[in-house]
Amino acid sequence: MSDPRLSNSGAVLRGAVDLSSLRARSAAPAAPDAPTPGSAPSLVFDVTDATFPQVLELSRTVPVVIDLWAEWCGPCTQLSPILEKVVLEAGGRLVLAKVDVDANPQLTQAFRAQSIPMVVALVAGQPVPLFTGAVPEQQVREVFAQLLQLAAQQGVTGVVPVDGVDAEAVEEAEPPLPPHHQEAYDAIEAGDYARAVTAYEAALAENPRDDEARAGLGQVRLLDRVQGLDLQAARDAAAAAPLDADAQFAVADLDLAGGHVDDAFGRLLDLFAALPDADRAPVRERLLELFGLVGDADARVIRARGRLSSLLF
């Protein structure tokens, strides 16, 4: 996910997500089925090119999860019900806006949706990348919990009214997080990613099968690495030193955080191919880490794994 303060995420997303043309239409009259500021037709609703400006405004009150999908997309049929379930269980603290990519080309282009399912959030009108591909329910819960913390940092703490649901009771009924997870969340909220890494590592030391801790560890490691990086300076350094692993790692991290998954994988695979065998291990380890962030079922990961295998053998 992105920096809880959104200051770095804006830089990372620049060029990856361009909502300016859609935002510019926010002064137009709202469509009849569009959400109005501070409210939504339901917790899960469809959004179109025409109604998206109202969704941007809604994100200033409550975090909006954007699900880019299509009827022909098999992984979408797996992920969408999970997204709906987790959002509904949040009791109005999140809403889910579903975008049919075939029917809404402007939104598809704005989010640079090279593959679907693709899930992005809007917080205070700013895009925050979440994940691509079908991911497990536990990982969705982990990411959405971090999204709510990020939104709180921005003062986006509204609740969409839900019939028969007491939002405060829902929050009070939530089970407490395991101690190491709570420590990690507190650290993320404070922008201390190194401490969050330590907390997740401690959770994994206690339970190597803790998938939530493993997913969280990969995310905060990425956040820690890209924090404060300047994209253009990183690209210049990588172009000047094509075999410098650290320089290539920096650009790959920024590309992945910005949604340019194929570019990130391609850069590291090209580096792996160019290096002597003795220097390849760190590149392979970084690739495997990034594969885990995107998800093993993602088509881009499958392609990249295939190329990595051919380079190894």
Residue 126 contacts residue 4 (beta carbons within 8 Å):
no
Q: φ and ψ at 112, to 5 degrees?
A: 50, 50
**Torsion on CA atoms 139, 144, 145, 146, rounded to nearest 10:** 100
Locate 271 and state its tokens: 């580096």
Question: Are 86 and 131 within 8 A, CB to CB?
Answer: no
Q: Is 104 left (phi over 0), alpha (psi -120 to 50) or beta?
A: beta
Q: Which two tokens stand for residue 272?
A: 């792996």
Pull the structure tokens for residue 76.
């979408």
Determine the 3-state secondary structure of 98 from DSSP: strand
Neighbouring residues of 205: CB distance < 8 A, sequence distance ≥ 6: none
Supply φ then ψ for residue 2, to 5 degrees.
-100, 170
Q: Hey, which residues does 131 pair with through a beta bridge?
A: 119
**Taking a C-beta distance cutoff of 8 angstroms, is the pair 43, 160 a contact?**
yes
Residue 130 φ/ψ, nearest 5 degrees: -110, -70
Report the SS3 class of residue 280: coil
Q: Report yes or no: 227 and 249 within 8 Å, Cβ to Cβ.
A: no
Which residues are known to be catalytic?
73, 76
